[in-house]
Structure 1
Amino acid sequence: MPRPRIRHLALYARNPEELARFYGKHFGMETLVGDEDGNFFLHDGYLTLALLKPDMGGEAPAGMNHFGFHVDDIDRTCAELADENVPAPQRRASPRPYAEYRAIDPEGNWFDLSEHGYGVD
Structure 2
Amino acid sequence: MPRPRLRHLALYARQPDRLAKFYREHFAMEVIHSDADGNQFLSDGYLTLAVLKHQMGGEAPVGMNHFGFQVDDLAATCEALAEDEVEAPQRRASPRPFAEYRATDPEGNWFDLSEHGYGVA
TM-score by length of 1: 0.94
Query: After alignment, is 20-29 or 56-65 more displaced?
Result: 56-65
Q: Percent identity?
A: 74
Consecutive unaligned residues of structure 2, counting only runs of 5 or more, are none
Deviation at 1:93, TM superposition (A): 1.2
Q: Which 5+ residue runs of structure 1 have no aligned equivalent?
A: none
Q: In the TM superposition, what whole-angstrom CA distance separates every residue of 1:62-93 from its partner, at most 9, and x where no partner exists?
A: 11000000000000000000111111000011
For the 8 Å contact 2:32–2:120, the answer to whether it is kept is no
Q: Deviations over 1:21-78 (max 9, x none)?
A: 0100110000011110011000000000000112361553211000000000000000
RMSD: 1.4
Q: Find the counterpart in structure 2 of residue 7 from structure 1.
A: 7
TM-score (norm 2): 0.94
Moved more, 102-111 or 53-62: 53-62
1:1-121 matches, within 5 Å, as 1-55=1-55, 57=57, 59-120=59-120
Aligned residues: 121
* TM-aligned CA distance change 1:83 to 1:58, over 3 Å: closer
C-alpha distance in 1, partners of 2:105/2:56? Answer: 21
Counterpart Cα distance in 2 of 1:95 and 1:59: 20
CA distance in 2, matches of 1:102, 1:17: 25
State the alpha-carbon separation in 2 of the partners of residues 88 and 56 from structure 1: 29
Contact 2:7/2:47 (CA < 8 Å) preserved in 1?
yes
Greater mean deviation of Cα atoms: 109-118 or 32-41:
32-41
Structure 1 distance, partners of 2:59, 2:79, is 34
